[in-house]
Structure 1
Amino acid sequence: MLRKCSLGLLTLVISASLAQAEEYKLNLGLFYANSDSNILVSDTKGGNFPLSFEDDLLLDEKQFLPYFEFTYDFNERHHLYIDWKQLHRTAQTPSLEKAFQIRLDGVDYDVKAGGKLQTTLDVDIMRLGYGYDIWQGTHYSIGATLGLHTMFVKTEFEGTIGICVPDNSSAELCDNAIANPQVIDENFTAPLPNIGVYANYEFYPNWQLMFHAQYFSIKYKDVKGSLKDIKIGVEAKISDNWFLNLAYNYYRVDVDIAETSTQNNQSFKVSDYSIDYSFTGPVFSVGYRF
């Protein structure tokens, strides 16, 4: 299903490139993010709890992010867009308060409380899509979008980490903590197709109010996820080609990858690798039309 959505979106891009372009827009700026991210891990009793990257692992909660957007408008009503946001963070926890267990690539790892742990969480988000103006007027336009959000996520833990081994009663024990530091990491790409709406309204000469909202939820095999992307802002034209943008963006994405095992020709879930990620904050950018 995801492959079909990606191929369909690529077909739109190729088809659009054959049409006569009317306008290109390039937007470069900064996003001040207030981040909230956590991962679902296990405790020593076999239960699950969310581990906060900001509160428990001390990653920066607030920081500036680079922002890039490119838009191609053609045939009056048609638009192609691509944008990119990036959030890379690393922090060291001098004394971990909570012990936790996590399964990566089919292996259960145990992180003890009280030890040092260096954590890296790198998230890159690409938004690619097509928009069409359904209604147009002298000072406004309202349309719909079809797009693809893709998250590129790297999670890395470095410290004294043990490997869990099952005993005869099938309970997970983690008594063989490795004395030497080691690194465990997980990289995955989460493509999430989306649909949305947008609206633009020129409320004063050279001043425009802009809004978009995109949403999607999907479950495919062992992967499920959802996203919400809402942005509202003002664009001011300062010359024939240059403009300024000030907006406020709410973005939230949940990605859940189930780890399964097969025994006696039956598959059953043994754990989840789940990331719940959101950021909210103002966006400031400078743009150029050509």
Structure 2
Amino acid sequence: MMNKSHWMACFAVVFSCSSFAGEWEIEVGGFFSRTDTKLNAYDPYLDKIRTIDFESDLDLKEFTALPYVELEYYFNQKHSLYADWRSLHREATRTTVTKPFEITNDGVTYVVQAGSKLTTDLDIDIARVGYGYQFYTSEKWAVDVLAGLHVMWLSLGLEGKLGAKASGVDEFPVMFVDDAVINDVTAPLPDIGIRAEYALTPDWIIKSHAQVFYLSVDDIDGYLLEMDIGAKYLFTDQFSMAGSFNYYEVGVDYESDRSSLDVTYRFYGPMLTLAYQF
């Protein structure tokens, strides 16, 4: 399974291999969002899988700002390649855990007990790469169909007095460790979508896009949903600013009898970006 640097290198190759004459656009900005992150994990006391909410149960920050960057290359009038990246890194300490849970990594099951003190470090990075084809244009409208891949990297760090035992062992753990780090990366999720722009005036443009995907194979379920609507103002032909409302949700679920690292990541809120074409 490739790590983040390998995926970034692959994304760079997609753009560097393009030999068409065209133009580039770089867009940078941020989200001011409400974030909701859930983990499905085994509860050893209730003997069932339960949902752990990172914001309400583990005190991770719910309202936060996320950086965003996108690079797009337009060629042959109707074609484009794009890649973007967004990131959310958070850390919080819960003095008294109210929902005990277990998670398994590399053959070791870590147990977070009720009443214990726990520091949680959750880092999530999401990258998207794809192709756009502008299938409809008019004096006011420009509509593209989109197809690409999403990749999500997740690093979960737990620090506290954690019980640890070999996977599949039923008795209560007698060994304790102070921290555990679980790193994971989703397989790339393909997605399809549509993007539309409508020119209100020569300087103001209404823009929107939506992308979706769902996959279920054996014990693995993966899905994503992204929707965005807003407006863009053109200061010049090369320089613009955009404001929009963005909703983004991605989930990858790995089910088993006694362990599960099923993560749902959702954020929504206003987004502000600046773009430059060259």
- With the length of structure 2 as denominator, give the TM-score of the two structures: 0.89
**Residue of structure 2 in register with 1:214 after alignment:** 211
**Residue of structure 2 in register with 1:285 after alignment:** 273
Secondary structure of 2:77 counterpart: coil
Preserved CA contact (<8 Å) 1:26 1:289: yes
Secondary structure of 1:272 counterpart: coil
Preserved CA contact (<8 Å) 1:200 1:209: yes
Give distance in 2, aligned partners of 1:165 and 1:46: 17
Please say if 1:176 is aligned against 2:174: yes
* RMSD after superposition: 2.4
Give distance in 1, aligned partners of 2:111 and 2:99: 11
Give distance in 1, aligned partners of 2:127 and 2:86: 7
**Residue of structure 1 in register with 2:224 after alignment:** 227
Q: How big is the shift at 1:107? A: 2.1
Give distance in 1, aligned partners of 2:159 and 2:137: 54
Q: How big is the shift at 1:132? A: 0.2
**Residue of structure 2 in register with 1:158 after alignment:** 159
Higher Cα radius of gyration = 1
Preserved CA contact (<8 Å) 1:110 1:174: no
Preserved CA contact (<8 Å) 1:160 1:177: no
**Residue of structure 1 in register with 2:4 after alignment:** none
Preserved CA contact (<8 Å) 2:42 2:260: no
Preserved CA contact (<8 Å) 1:93 1:116: yes
Amino acid at match of 1:136: T
Secondary structure of 1:160 counterpart: strand
Identity of aligned residues (%): 34
Amino acid at match of 1:248: F
Describe how 1:134-145 pairs up with structure 2 within 5 A: 134-145=135-146
Give distance in 2, aligned partners of 1:34 and 1:244: 22
Q: 1:28 to 1:185 in 2, by over 3 A?
A: same
Q: How big is the shift at 1:221? A: 5.4
Give distance in 2, aligned partners of 1:16 and 1:130: 14
2:181 to 167, 181, 185: 185
Q: How big is the shift at 1:136? A: 1.0
Amino acid at match of 2:260: D
Give distance in 1, aligned partners of 2:184 and 2:166: 25
Unmatched tracts of structure 2, length 5 or more: 1-6
Q: How big is the shift at 1:154? A: 0.5
Q: How big is the shift at 1:115? A: 1.5
Deviates more, 1:47-56 or 1:238-247: 238-247
Amino acid at match of 2:242: N
Preserved CA contact (<8 Å) 2:97 2:117: yes
